[in-house]
Chain A
Amino acid sequence: MHQLTSFATDYTRYVLKGGTKFYAWMGSLAVLIVGMLYVFYLQNTDGLIVTGMTSQIHDGLYFANLVFLVGVAAGAVTIVFPAYVYHHEGMHKVTVLGEMLAITAVIMVMMFVFAHMGRPDRLWHMIPIIGIYNFPHSMLAWDVLVLNGYLILNAICGFYYLWIKYTGGKINNKWFMPLVFLSIVWAFSIHTVTAFLISTMPSRPMWFHSMMPIRFIVTAFAAGPALIILAFMIIRKNTKFWIDDSVINLLSTIVTYCLGIAIFLTMSEVVVELYARTEHANGLYYLMFGLHGLTKLVPWFWASVVLMVGSFLLLIFPKFRHDYKMLPILCATTFAGIWIEKGMGLIVPGFIPSPIGEVTEYYPSFVEVLLTLGIWAFGFFILTILLKGAIGILLGDIKYRGAKAVATR
């Protein structure tokens, strides 16, 4: 018990300690978070009318971010898998950072759920026993199950590891390893189920195909590690914690391959849909070229194509991939390209045209943009705290009495 309280106080004390740069970063995030709280209040007094969503297009920026961030959460498995299955030395050292990212992403997903719902005050209706949980019929119920499971698994694995490092004890592999492997499988499940969420609706032909889960997973395994590489680059530059080149190189290889497969799958979809050009292809056609003169998403789509294909063409050359000045830029463009493709570019055209043939458009309102930015800011806020704490423990800066440090340069 004493160990636990000293863990909490040491952890908090370490996280709160920081220079001007740290506080400027956290402060600017806090400003956005306050803005988010304000528009969330607006949205829950005036209603969703303050967003761009309508009865025709009722899933927008929030749902798009939700779907994307499930992918980021699942992307953490690109660290855990090589670390524990292939015993990759460098990865093993940073596994816990991947788990911290997963925790953050799932929390952000849950916040987007709150932002998306018409009646967030009634969320308790979903809680079994006091409410009704439509399991196994509702795909959303499955999603809630797998997301919460993933959060718990990562929290247990991550914080147990940190706890052991803090106290200087030994990891009990008897139950720790099974949990780690479960979390690997579970990572696939969260994104598969999220894909099923929209691909099981014949009413929306653009989504109604079985390629959706694999497309979700490969885009996740490109965008997730791309973000992780960026985070690792920042960590290498700003802390004493050293992340091996081998880790970054393996991650950038994963990004490259997955991005390539993602582009291939998108291309397959375009060929299949546009070759036959049935009415069911209208959504995709709207996205690529516009429909009935409505073209708001067209620039977004082509921007995403340029970002994804451009990044891929450069990433396949080891010369660029191993150039650590170039790599962060390529990771950022990959991340942005997939954010568009899998976010707005996937969710919104699913509603265009509506099932009875009406073509309308959606564009996020200021409230939606600010709320979304606020949730991202909140995500970065907790990610900073979690990563800083984890690194402190790995460095041995936070330790219980005289426990040994794990990793220094």
Chain B
Amino acid sequence: MIPDEKAPTELVKTPASADPAKAVLKTTRRDFLKSGGMLSLSSLVGTGALMAQTGDAKAAVEWAEHFQKNYRLMTKEEKDEARARLERRYSAEYGKQVTVDTTDAQPGVLMGYALNIRKCIGCRRCVHACVAENNQSRGKGRPGEKIEWIQVLRMERGKFEQEKMDHGYPEGLGIQVGGNAYTPAGQVLEGQYHYNPEKVPEADATYMPIACMQCEKPPCVKVCPVRTTYREPDGPVVIDYNWCIGCRMCMGACPYWARRLNVTTPVLPKEEMNPVTHYLGNRPRMRGVVEKCHWCLQRSRHGRYPACVEVCPVGARKFGNLLDPESEVSKILERKNVFRLKAELNTFPKFFYFYD
């Protein structure tokens, strides 16, 4: 127990969700017990601890969280309960009304993403918007405390030069069989993303943003020993943070380096915390679990664009329903030259790169 946390007695009584669609679910814990029968071990322990009025909601809630099931196996009641429990804990922890959305995938929707690689100017606003929206750890002290899901790779433009015509190998001895008249040019995956220019775009660079590709055949999902990560029916690959054991097999299996490990308790200042969250999305994570991009489920399931799409100043990022022929993404797939990163790995990303 952390001593400076005040016991949030008032917040315990707040409604289960601030999401208007779910406001009907204002059953009290006592009703829950009476209607009984469906109670899991987790709910018994959690409710029991709360009813005993230990005066410390956080401890009780965390204790109950230890026993909850994998999200996908929860019944509707258990999901609501888990949600209420989390909302209570987060609200207490961050000192504001936090909502945890549990909206399911909508039928007829398959999310897709397209990025105009020619337009990207490398401003990295998407990176920062993503961090702010998705409650990533943003510590400045130790290196592991800073987590960013989007990487914008800076690629040297490179060129071939007259002066280097006689450079080649083997250098110095024997007949030269190969040339070294170049500096690395073109898109290869050996960029750098720790760049900090005064002005973008830089003349000698191009940019290649990368984040989770939301693969149709995600290698990360296959290797997970506890099935905590999986592809949602509407496309994104998500993680039940409460079920993750932190084995990091998924991180090894991801060919796009899209996953991050919370090596310590995320550094998330109260005032910066985004209180509109989704259970499988941007709710605050805990120490020792893996996290990744989920196309802002808390937004996209309610018809909004992901934060990175919204913030992009040049309109390089497009997002929409792949099943709707009128969506922007579908139009791009229909008309533009598109490619997928590391297509040879058969991961079938739903994230496409294109150019005009």
Residues of A that sit less than 8 Å from B by CB: 46-49, 51, 53-56, 58-59, 116-123, 125-126, 131-134, 137-141, 144, 197-198, 200-204, 279, 350, 353-358
Contacts and interface: CB of A to CB of B under 8 A. Distances in A.
B340 to A, nearest CB: 15
Contacts of A123: 245
Interface in B244-293: 244-249, 251-257, 259-265, 287-290
Q: Report whether over half of chain A's contact residues are helix, strand or loop; otherwise say mixed.
A: loop
A203 B287 contact: no
A55 B260 contact: yes
Contacts of A132: 70, 73, 226-228, 243
A119 B189 contact: no
B22 interface: no
Nearest to A45: B287
B219 interface: yes
Contacts of A55: 144, 147, 251, 259-261, 263
B191 interface: yes
A315 B102 CA distance: 65
A125 B66 contact: no
Nearest to A203: B255
Given A59-B248, A116-B248, A119-B289, 19 more contacts: A48-B261, A49-B144, A49-B264, A54-B144, A58-B248, A118-B246, A118-B263, A119-B246, A131-B70, A132-B70, A137-B223, A140-B223, A140-B249, A200-B223, A202-B219, A202-B345, A279-B190, A350-B252, A356-B257
B247 A118 contact: yes
Contacts of B288: 47-48, 117-119
Given A116-B247, A117-B247, A357 B225 contact: no
A14 B51 CA distance: 53
Q: Report whether over half of chain B's contact residues are helix, strand or loop; otherwise say mixed.
A: loop
A189 to B, nearest CB: 18
Contacts of A133: 225-226
A134 B193 CA distance: 35
B86 to A, nearest CB: 16
B345 A59 contact: no
Interface in B32-52: none
Given A198-B252, A201-B253, A134 B289 contact: no
Given A55-B261, A118-B247, A358 B255 contact: no
B142 interface: yes
B143 interface: yes
Contacts of A134: 224-227
Contact of B192 (A122, A139, A201, A358): A358
Contacts of A56: 257
Nearest to B253: A201
Contacts of B263: 47-49, 51, 53-55, 118
Nearest to A54: B144
